[in-house]
Structure 1
Amino acid sequence: MNQKLVESLAQIILSLSDEERQWLDREIQKASVSKQVEDLKSRLKQFEETYQMPSEHFHQRFQAGELGDDIDFFEWDAYYEMLTAAQFKAS
């Protein structure tokens, strides 16, 4: 960790107005959600390639009980729902 850089950033942040700090916080949250979305898309792509099925189609079929109880399907569905929630958060 670069302690001098962190100290400088802390001083800059402390010098910001409340409005500027709120803006900075929103920007940091957007970047975090964006990173989360990209990570989830990457995980979903692996399942889509393995099972040759788009995640949306999989989710509909899994929720309808058409695909069984394979542990991969529960994991895939959880990632799909996490992506849906993250995208809603980002909008």
Structure 2
Amino acid sequence: MDGKVTYSVDGRVVFTSDRTFLPREHLGVHFSAWLVDLPFKGARDWDMRVNWLYHQPDRAVPLPEVQKAVDGFYGSGTPYVNTMPRR
């Protein structure tokens, strides 16, 4: 919006860039757990929690509007909605 793109997680701005660094291609969202060789042996476990990823194509969505939508999903008991197109 206005020549800027802002990335935020849990309402905290992580990064904002100007026209110099706007995405030029389609972006993807990928959740990964990176497990590397560690200097000890034995079982390892991890815990990744993602409550919601909210996206509206071709639109900058203000954070209060996102929160209102997600709160509505929680309030109605909707645990999952997938409207992302498959490529």
* TM-score normalised by structure 2 residue count: 0.23
- More strand, by proportion: 2
Greater Rg by CA: 1
Q: Which gives a bigger RCO, structure 1 or 2 (Cα 8 Å, sep 6+)? A: 1
- More helix, by proportion: 1
